[in-house]
Amino acid sequence: MSALDSERPAALRPQQITAAALDEKIWLEGGAGSGKTSAGLARLRQLLAAGVAADSIALFVPQRSLAEPYLQALRAESGYSGGIVRAYTLGSLARQTVETFWFLIAEGAGFAQPQALPNFLSLELVQYFMTRAIEPLVLEREYFHSVRIERARLYSQILDNMNKAALVGFPISEIGSRLKAALGGGIEQAHIFDDAQTCALEFRRYCLAHNLLDFSLYVQLFRERALMLPAARARLSRRFRHVIVDNVEEDNPASHAFLEQLLPGCQSALIIYDSDAGFRRFLGADPENARRLRQYCDRALHFGTSQVMSAGVSALSAQLSQHLSEADAPLERESDAAPALHWEAHRFHPQMVDWVARQIAELIEERGIKPRDIVVLAPFLSDVLRFSLRERLAKRGIRARSHRPSRALREEPAARALLTLARLAHPRWEYAPAAFDVALALMAGIAGLDFLRAKLLADTLYQRGRLLPFHQLRSAAAQDRITFAIGERYDQLRAWLDAYIEAGGSDAIDIFFRRIFGEVLSRAGFGFYGDAAAGNTAMNLVDSARGFRWSLEFMRRYDDSLDLAADYARMVDRGVIANFYLRDWVAEDEDSVLIAPAYTFLLGNRPVDYQFWLDIGSEAWSRRLYQPLTHPHVLSRGWQPQAVWTDADEAALNRQTLRRLFLALTRRCRRGVYLGYSELSESGYEGRGLLLECIQALLRAAARESADV
């Protein structure tokens, strides 16, 4: 976290002290880096110092990680009383409230077993149950046969539609009609929207029949039933006497509606709004709707001065923003952006990656920049780009970490290796991995083993689902190539798996992962030893598998033949998208460079000294990800139900998206931006995206100005 986290009230500017004043409801607006969160921290400390009971203070954020500055500050405080300060998101609050008042709302909501306890589903479990609920329907009626995306991604878009309906406040039965009215697309596209509508309704029926609550269902129950109960409203009113709401622009209409009900009865409130933000629009964020909360505040404050950007970065931010706001207007150049902008053109993508690694090394070794104050950003972070950049940095002795949320569990090498080893250790599943997967698992699990030698081991010693001893590699040349040191580690891993199988191989899947990680893979000589990222992934997998097991025990009432361990392995192998794991957002290596998608960095909400923007020719910087079954803007509150989405709307959205991204990135950059450009992309195509167009316009304007001088 930034230095702002430890800032004390005495160090605050007069405006921040005003925002920290008690017994008022204040609307605080400003750009990133203007000191808004510091004012929120000061207000929290003032409340505690004034003797306000901690359990009457509530933090409300759109994403759990955004509460970390406040929670860190609380851990440093001592002497306050009255319980603890809690942080809430809409999801956590809705789940707690529905669970508390379940027996008062279940029957009226249409659940088949209102006397039984509810089963709240994580993102991974939702995908598992959706597959069980609608896969037979999809196969029988040949739904989505023209959609060329993985089934897991397809189902996630159906879930996204249901979540949008709950957050915006329209019935899930209207999803298809809204999409068809706005997007049209011909008969085939209309059929796709109809199929998505049918699947959403079928999944909802399945949930009601089995007491399953996905995010969309418990948010709907919270809004439409729990909040109608006088006891629930009284309980929430007592809990939320003093409220601090941060990043309200990243929250959704359902959150805003709850706050509209809550604020009139609060004793004090601070609502913090980040101008030109709204990065979570694809998750339902609605910055325009958030402004409605301003009317419930006693006064409004505006923080206009950035405490982060240098003059050069500020000029770069203003000029790029102006180019996208008024494309035909001359650029105003109040100050020079050149000192903050660094770039070099390359023909091929690997040359660009080499240049990035050299520049990072120069910043660290010659200019004394800390690795944690450097980020490398791309619109999408491919496995190839991540691997090649980390390898180049590692050769220079520079540690790097990456963070890519919303990825399938199987796409992380450490998770894929553990799943492959689990399949080897459980032959009763009749789910033996392919030799290629075994090679990848050996490469990830044994230190010093490259892919070619791992493939040689898998091709020769992996037979009929079992690994054979190293000495059965008859060729002396092959043994010498692999080396006996690696062969010894291979035998240790193989022997552990054989002993596990001979002992019955009956551990729960999460316990198996913990055992093989702790007893083999995390020891010296094996692949996870000293690798914090691999260890983090392994713990995410353990949490995921344990949650799956605990949550599905009740299903044995309906099907006693279930093998939860095998089901879990198959679910992950199908490409289930991972849950949100807080440790991925808050665990930081002080000595490492962050490599991440641009929006992932923004949602971390911390400033750095230098940013590297890679693949600036890519259209993905401004163009939204194509999703054939959903559309975040058409399903938003601001969209008129019968309006038609046009190419002009798409173009305007692209410019607006890129402008917002420019402002957000530069406001979190202290000293400079490096532009990574290659004529040919990673895939070998020329890029002509909107970001490149803006950069070229800025450079041409600077060149004309220099020529005039």
User: Over the chain (709 residues), what is each successive 10-residue block's mean pLDDT?
Assistant: 39 63 86 86 88 91 88 78 87 95 95 92 86 88 82 88 94 93 84 92 94 95 95 90 93 94 93 85 86 93 84 86 65 67 89 95 94 92 86 90 71 88 92 92 92 91 91 85 91 94 86 92 90 82 84 64 80 70 51 88 87 92 86 88 88 88 90 91 81 84 63
Q: SS3 for 656? A: helix
How far apart CA 99 and CA 117 sit, in angstroms, is 9
Instruction: Work out the number of other CB atoms within 10 angstroms of the CB of residue 142.
Output: 9
What pLDDT score was predicted for residue 444?
A: 92
User: What 3-state DSSP class applies to 401?
Assistant: strand
Query: Is the four-CA dihedral 608, 673, 247, 605 of positive or negative sign?
Result: negative
* pLDDT at residue 353, rounded to an integer: 94
Q: Give the pLDDT of residue 560.
A: 60
How much is the pLDDT for 434? 92
Question: Which of 79, 198, 179, 195 lies closest to 146, judged by CA?
Answer: 195
CA distances from 670 to 43, 277, 392, 496 (A): 26, 18, 25, 51
pLDDT value of position 419: 93
Round the CA-based radius of gyration of the chain to a whole number and report it. 27
Letter for the amino acid at 420? Answer: T
* Residue (of 384, 415, 378) closest to 595 by Cα position: 378
pLDDT of the residue at 20:
61
Asked if 132 and 203 touch (Cβ cutoff 8 Å), the reply is no
Task: Give every strand in the sheet of 399-402, ordered side by side.
Answer: 341-346, 669-678, 608-613, 374-378, 592-597, 399-402
pLDDT, residue 157, reads: 92
Burial (CB < 10 A; 0-12, 13-18, 19+), residue 496, is middle
In terms of phi and psi (left: phi > 0; alpha: psi -120 to 50; beta: otherwise), the region of 446 is beta
